[in-house]
A and B are shown apart, each in its own frame.
Chain A
Amino acid sequence: MGASSLIVLICAAVAFSAGGIAIAKFMVKGTKNTAKGEAYECGIPAKGTPWDQFNVGYYLFALIFLIFDVELIFLYPWAVVVKSIGWPAFVEIVIFMFILFMGFLYAHKKGALKWM
């Protein structure tokens, strides 16, 4: 796929989505009421403001997730080349995983993965 078709595709994608929105705008007769503006149109009415202060616990989870996310990404290139490099690559990844696994064990034992 060349770069020219890429530009055509991008333009087509933009036109397709923008076109849909534009057609809907013209064709649909809009009504406005309070129920429509709510986050959930049915069920329990939303209380308070969405700009509420969140608990720091979410952040802790996200950070630990991020670290293992990055760790997993290191595994992709490893999996591709491990056969041709052989044992050295295997030993390297074992050390790497071991150190990070220690961290995981620590976080687990500390109860960082329990909610609050």
Chain B
Amino acid sequence: MMVLIILTAAGILAMFASVFNGRSVVLPVSLSGLFAAGYFALLEWNTNTTYFEAMRMDNFAIAFTVVCLFAAFVFLLLYHYMHYSSDVHYAEVISIILFSLAGVVVMVSFTSMLMLFLGIEILSLSLYILAGLKKKDLLSNEASLKYLLMGAFATGFLLFGIAMLYGATGSFMLSDIAYYLGLHKAVAEPFIVTGIIMLMIGLLFKVAAAPFHFWTPDVYQGAPTLVTGYMATVGKVAAFAALVRVFQLGFSPALETYQFLFAAVAVTTMFIGNITALYQKSVKRMLAYSSISHAGYMLIALMAANEVTNGAVLFYSIAYTLASLLAFAVVAILQQKSGSDEVSVFNGLSKSSPLMSITFAVAMLSLAGIPPTAGFFAKFYVFSAAISDGWVWITVLAIINSFISVYYYFAPVIASYMKKGNEEGIVLATPVKVLLAIIALLTLLIGLLPGSLSYLI
């Protein structure tokens, strides 16, 4: 609750800073807002406080809130150092980010379907706006409009599903729905099945899983690169947390109804994401397809639906968020410098900026799931969640996909180390350097000491 209030208040303050020429106070206000929100979220660890029967700050919610707050923190710093003087909408962008985080908090902590809908809408609306920030760029306009239209369509499905479940069970509360499903063995009841599937379609759209992924490449490419990074991390992780929460807390008694659907979606998503990524020239587009395929891996954990699912999804989200932040940060810096997002901009990066090339390599290793990084253990936990329930075939397919992905993840890394290019040094602000180094170190550290991170929740 405190988290919501702080984020909203910080957002309003940042918004007014733009009106009263207070550019310089925006960053301190927003960063202290983020830290205060994180502090108050962690304060509620293990308390399971419920607010107004609409949201509950359990450990699952707190963990995902903190992951998203961290990603937003990185985004804000990068945005500040890259665009402080070059964006008229500087303060508004930051305030929209803060409001969207309020939406994220609602999305990961809801106990009532109404809150799920509101949270998703706040986050999506913010992302639609952010995607269209480059007002004079046709690609950015296209990205924003496409995302809005498709997103509104998906929201329609989501609402339809919620309405059907309400009609069948008479309640918006997840616990009531789970109780009803358990009591009535309602798996075959048409309203319930249709409602669950509609809800699933709406949420799968938001996490960009195939066959609802068509918007992703265009939107990710057209949106400003930092915004793409924000979408691919916070947007995706929060939507996935919402998906897990709905299905784990609300629908688990009807598991057999949807388990196979999730398996099919996971396999399609992995193959479509990975195989299409092989053919991309633009790094942004490649990362877009890679983010689609990662939704597929995470769906495997959700499909297994056992006691390790939540932990595996959390671990995967952390690993994926760290690696994606690094990747998008490097691409954004390079794009700002050279104006292009082709693989060729990486040529000679190891000479012009050793730090950027090494952190990018770490990010790619982690995304591909190579051992000394966090990505390896993320995949390991997801696969072991699936295997412990006997889903061997899907694990084999996922491992094949991991091998495919190595090819395209390494193309820019090879370009930065093997190919000759512009060797003029790239100057980075010190905080950006520190930030990149810290995230890369975290990725390695989590990979070396996975420890009990996956048993947190």
Classify A-B as touching or not with yes or no (CB < 8 A).
yes
Q: Contact residues of A with B, CB < 8 Å?
A: 99, 102, 105-106, 109-110
CA distance A110 to B19 in the complex (A): 6
Are the CB atoms of B19 and A106 closer together than 8 Å? yes
Are the CB atoms of B15 and A99 closer together than 8 Å? no
CA distance A106 to B92 in the complex (A): 10
Are the CB atoms of B8 and A109 closer together than 8 Å? no
B118 part of interface (Cβ distance < 8 Å) = no
Residues of B within 8 A of A110 (CB): 18-19
Residue from A99, A105, A106 in contact with B8 in the complex, judged by beta carbons closer than 8 Å: A99
CA distance A99 to B99 in the complex (A): 12
Are the CB atoms of A102 and B19 closer together than 8 Å? no
B11-26: which have CB < 8 Å to A? Answer: 12, 15-16, 18-20
Are the CB atoms of A109 and B19 closer together than 8 Å? yes
Are the CB atoms of B12 and A99 closer together than 8 Å? yes
CA distance A110 to B18 in the complex (A): 9
Chain A nearest Cβ from B258, distance in angstroms? 34
Residues of A within 8 A of B19 (CB): 105-106, 109-110
CA distance A105 to B19 in the complex (A): 10
For B8, give the chain A residue with the smallest CB separation. Answer: A99
Interface residues on B, range: under 10
Mind listing 14 A-B residue pairs with CB under 8 Å?
A99-B8, A99-B12, A102-B12, A102-B15, A102-B16, A105-B16, A105-B19, A106-B15, A106-B16, A106-B19, A109-B19, A109-B20, A110-B18, A110-B19
Residues of B within 8 A of A99 (CB): 8, 12
CA distance A71 to B20 in the complex (A): 26
Residues of B within 8 A of A105 (CB): 16, 19
Residues of B within 8 A of A106 (CB): 15-16, 19
Chain B nearest Cβ from A102, distance in angstroms? 5
Residues of A within 8 A of B20 (CB): 109
Chain B nearest Cβ from A94, distance in angstroms? 14
Residues of B within 8 A of A109 (CB): 19-20
CA distance A109 to B21 in the complex (A): 11
CA distance A105 to B12 in the complex (A): 11
For B13, give the chain A residue with the smallest CB separation. Answer: A102
CA distance A109 to B19 in the complex (A): 6
Residues of A within 8 A of B8 (CB): 99
For A106, give the chain B residue with the smallest CB separation. Answer: B15
Residues of A within 8 A of B15 (CB): 102, 106
CA distance A109 to B22 in the complex (A): 14
Q: What does the 1/0 interface line of B17-37 toward A look like (CB < 8 Å)? A: 011100000000000000000
Chain B nearest Cβ from A90, distance in angstroms? 17
Chain A nearest Cβ from B381, distance in angstroms? 40
CA distance A92 to B124 in the complex (A): 25
CA distance A101 to B18 in the complex (A): 16
